[in-house]
């Protein structure tokens, strides 16, 4: 199966070339998100915004994680939500397979491949990182009814403490991985790109907040998950969806005139 680049016009709708991966694109899709991420991380971790929010959720639930086993938070959002995300991934995989047999889907192969890889790699990256960071869930901390002291991301963890795997937020990645829909639609139907971003953000926020109500994660855990998912989607967009200029195209492109060499008749 070959993954041909999208053609200008296809039966399922016009697929235009994605915008240039230039400085302006990077400023808006990497620079500004990085600045917001850095500022939010400082507020949540060194300035203890995580603890401020968790304290209030814990008090609101009666100084215990009363929603830890709740039907909505545990069964409907945590279990069924993850299954729904997995079904969505299988649906993309089936469309990718079908694109090898149906001509109308041929132009969608590369965007579908991108979406399949972005969602899978995002959840895999978050799951792998959880094994390395060794951070506790709120419900494990003495501050919230557990038995362990609080150790933040940037502090050395005492050797006497058992291992932990609560950072970043694994369940939220099942929602935030779908921010890749922004780049998928950017390459296929640009007018829908904000809808795609909204779907990913809404799913991630829902999954993440439900886990915070259960005492499973701090807000910074979700923030880092979103940053990982966005970064992977952006990198894959650059690798798979941005058309590379061929050497022949580079040779025929006229060089811009040097300043001062324009004729007097030219504007």
SS3 55: helix
* Phi, psi angles (nearest 5°) of residue 141: -90, 145
Residue range 27-62, pLDDT digits in tens? 999 999 999 999 999 999 999 999 999 999 999 999
Average pLDDT of the segment spanning 127-149: 96
Task: Retrieve residue 14's tokens.
Answer: 């016009």
* E strand intervals along the chain: 9-10, 13-14
Residues 136 and 146: their CA atoms lie apart, in Å, by: 10
The model's pTM is 0.84
Residue 260 has pLDDT above 60, yes or no: no
DSSP string of 146-186? SSB----TTSPPPTTSPP---SS-HHHHHHHGGGHHHHHHH
User: Pick from 127, 135, 128: which is nearest to 156 by CA?
Assistant: 135
Q: 22 pLDDT band (50/70/90 cuts)?
A: confident
CB environment 240-251: b (16+ within 10 A), e (fewer): bbbeeeeeeeee
């Amino acid at each position: 199966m070959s993954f041909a680049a999208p053609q200008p016009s296809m039966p399922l709708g016009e697929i235009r070339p994605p915008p240039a991966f230039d400085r302006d694109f990077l400023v808006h899709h990497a620079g500004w998100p990085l600045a917001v991420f850095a500022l939010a991380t400082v507020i949540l971790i060194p300035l203890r915004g995580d603890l401020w929010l968790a304290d209030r959720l814990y008090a609101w639930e009666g100084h215990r994680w009363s929603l830890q086993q709740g039907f909505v938070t545990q069964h409907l959002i945590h279990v069924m939500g993850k299954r729904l995300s997995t079904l969505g991934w299988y649906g993309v995989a089936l469309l990718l397979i079908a694109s090898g047999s149906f001509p109308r889907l041929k132009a969608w192969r590369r965007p579908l491949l991108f979406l399949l890889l972005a969602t899978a790699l995002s959840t895999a990256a978050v799951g792998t990182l959880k094994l390395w960071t060794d951070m506790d869930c709120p419900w494990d901390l003495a501050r919230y009814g557990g038995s362990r002291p609080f150790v933040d991301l940037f502090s050395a963890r005492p050797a006497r403490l058992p291992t932990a795997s609560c950072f970043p937020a694994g369940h939220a990645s099942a929602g935030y991985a779908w921010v890749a829909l922004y780049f998928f639609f950017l390459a296929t139907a640009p007018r829908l790109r904000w809808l795609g971003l909204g779907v990913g953000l809404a799913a991630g926020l829902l999954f993440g907040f439900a886990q915070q109500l259960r005492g499973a994660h701090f807000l910074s855990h979700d923030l880092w998950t979103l940053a990982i998912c966005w970064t992977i989607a952006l990198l894959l967009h650059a690798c798979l969806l941005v058309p590379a200029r061929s050497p022949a195209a580079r040779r025929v492109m006229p060089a811009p005139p040097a300043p001062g060499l324009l004729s007097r008749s030219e504007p």
